[in-house]
Amino acid sequence: MSQAAQGNTPENTPRGAHPLDEVVWNALAGKLHRFAIGDERSRRLPSSIGPFAAVADAGPSSFDALRELIDMHGPAALVTAEAIAPPDGFAVLRQAKLLQMIWQGTPDPAHAWEHTRLGAADVPEMLALTAATEPGPFGPRTIELGDYLGLRKAGRLAAMAGERMRLEGYTEISAVCVDPAFRGQGHAAGLMKLLIAAIGARGETPFLHVVTSNHGAISLYRTLGFVERSEMNLLVLGGGEA
């Protein structure tokens, strides 16, 4: 299957009533197109970056294309406004409801918080922290998607947050996590405020996704100025019969 088409072509125009309704498709067709694997029926990120994928529609040809991508690159995670029932031939590995939240807070340009900008040399520690705290998918190349900020305490990476899906006018904040030994000290909020300010300075709006059962995180995000925009559906598919 070829690299996804790039440039200002019809399939790369934003889809959905709102761009964030088809966030993965619009990101992979736009600002993240250099990472996209696939074609006009289905596209995804390389598994070393993340499992996220999208299909053009719920028709057989789109799922045939997705099956090929799964066979070559591993399980795929779809994030959709409408629930999708995949055809036979897929294993449903996970289903969950997500809240898509969008920032509508007041800018805090004077805010400062201790932090360090994370790079390739920090990836082993980032992988260890995300494995221990499970904020969502994070691979050895996820850091290539955007800026990642961290906080070091007692000689180790204590907290981090960064950018994931990016599309025209919007950037997703993701991988927000704190080592259990350093929780309750405002580290996640501080790093998120820095990212919110940086994203806003680019003229973009921050957004994020959170599992609906994660009430603690939802409460934190509300205090930072995020409001619920939509309930989304997470569907993780593998190859073969369930």
Q: Determine the pLDDT at residue 83.
A: 94
Euclidean distance between CA atoms 58 and 79, whole angstroms:
13
Residue spans of beta strands (DSSP E) within 148-199: 148-153, 156-167, 170-178
Q: What is the mean pLDDT of residues 137-149?
A: 97
User: And the tokens for 204?
Assistant: 């973009």
User: And the tokens for 236?
Assistant: 């993780």
Any bridge partners for residue 234, and if so which? 79, 96
pLDDT exceeds 60 at position 4: no
The answer to which of 2-11, 53-62, 125-134, 217-226 has the lowest mean pLDDT is 2-11
pLDDT exceeds 50 at position 242: no
One DSSP character per residue, 81-101 reads SS---PPTTEEEEEEEEEEEE
> Which residue carries 């989304």 as its tokens?
232
Euclidean distance between CA atoms 178 and 164, whole angstroms:
18
Euclidean distance between CA atoms 25 and 84, whole angstroms:
15
Dihedral sign computed on CA atoms, order 216, 198, 232, 27: negative
- Percent of the chain with pLDDT strictly greater than 70: 92
Fold assignment, 102-231: Aminopeptidase (3.40.630)
pLDDT exceeds 90 at position 225: yes
pLDDT exceeds 70 at position 106: yes
Query: What rounded mean pLDDT belongs to the chain?
Result: 92
- Band of pLDDT at residue 3, cut at 50, 70 and 90: very low
- Band of pLDDT at residue 228, cut at 50, 70 and 90: very high
DSSP state of 35: G
Tell me, what amino acid is at 8?
N
CATH 3.40.630.30 domain extents, the chain: 16-95+234-239, 102-231
- Band of pLDDT at residue 7, cut at 50, 70 and 90: very low
CA neighbor of 166 nearest in space, from 56, 38, 33, 37: 33
Euclidean distance between CA atoms 190 and 188, whole angstroms:
5
CA distances to 30, 71, 127, 134, 151 from 158, rounded to whole Å, are 33, 36, 12, 14, 6
Q: Determine the pLDDT at residue 241.
A: 55
DSSP state of 7: S
Please state the pTM of the whole predicted model. Answer: 0.91
Q: Determine the pLDDT at residue 9.
A: 38
pLDDT exceeds 80 at position 214: yes
Euclidean distance between CA atoms 44 and 54, whole angstroms:
6
Q: Determine the pLDDT at residue 202.
A: 95
CA distances to 27, 56, 66, 69, 167 from 40, rounded to whole Å, are 14, 7, 11, 13, 18
55-96 tens-digit pLDDT: 999 999 999 999 999 999 999 999 999 999 988 999 999 999
Euclidean distance between CA atoms 116 and 99, whole angstroms:
29
- Band of pLDDT at residue 111, cut at 50, 70 and 90: low
Architecture of the domain spanning 16-95+234-239: 3-Layer(aba) Sandwich (3.40)
